[in-house]
Amino acid sequence: NGGFRLVRVEGRGRAGGRVIELRLTEIRRPLRRVRQNDPEKVKMLMESISKIGLQVPIDVLEVEGKYYGFSGCHRFEAHIRLGLPTIRCKVHKASKAILRLHMM
């Protein structure tokens, strides 16, 4: 798609972050291998998201134009399994130092 990052501006969420739809493929998940998701939770979220959509966006850090997801692991996996191309994210701009803290 020519590398478009921002699909659609959704508005402003609480805590200052802007809420946008990002492609699953452009969200880096540095901690994916550390924690295992609860498959039952993922299943329930899949059912709910397919019926009523994602009600609470996941939080992502934006550092130098790249997006990093640390939380919302179950919602993210539910989107993957549903074959959805994008997920609604609350984007928090951050520095490399903040990113490093999140990766510890």
Interacting stretch for ligand ADP, rule CB under 6 A, among 9-17, 25-33, 45-53, 91-99? 45-53
Which segments within 1-104 are labelled E, that is strand?
A: 8-12, 18-23, 27-28, 58-63, 66-69, 86-93
Report, in Å, the least distance between residue 73 CB and ligand ADP.
4
Report, in Å, the least distance between residue 49 CB and ligand ADP.
5
Q: CA–CA separation, 47 vs 79, rounded Å?
A: 11
Using rule CB under 6 A, residue 72 touches ligand ADP:
yes
Interacting stretch for ligand ADP, rule CB under 6 A, among 28-36, 61-69, 70-78, 95-103? 70-78
Using rule CB under 6 A, residue 45 touches ligand ADP:
yes
**Nearest residue to 39 (alpha-carbon basis) of 87, 93, 96, 81:** 81
| The residue to which tokens 């901690």 are assigned | 31
Residues within window 10-39 making contact with ligand ADP, judged by CB under 6 A: none
- Figure out which of the listed residues 62, 69, 75, 89 binds ligand ADP, where binding follows CB under 6 A: 75
- Figure out which of the listed residues 15, 34, 52, 97 binds ligand ADP, where binding follows CB under 6 A: 52
Q: CA–CA separation, 21 vs 37, rounded Å?
A: 23
Q: CA–CA separation, 74 vs 29, rounded Å?
A: 12
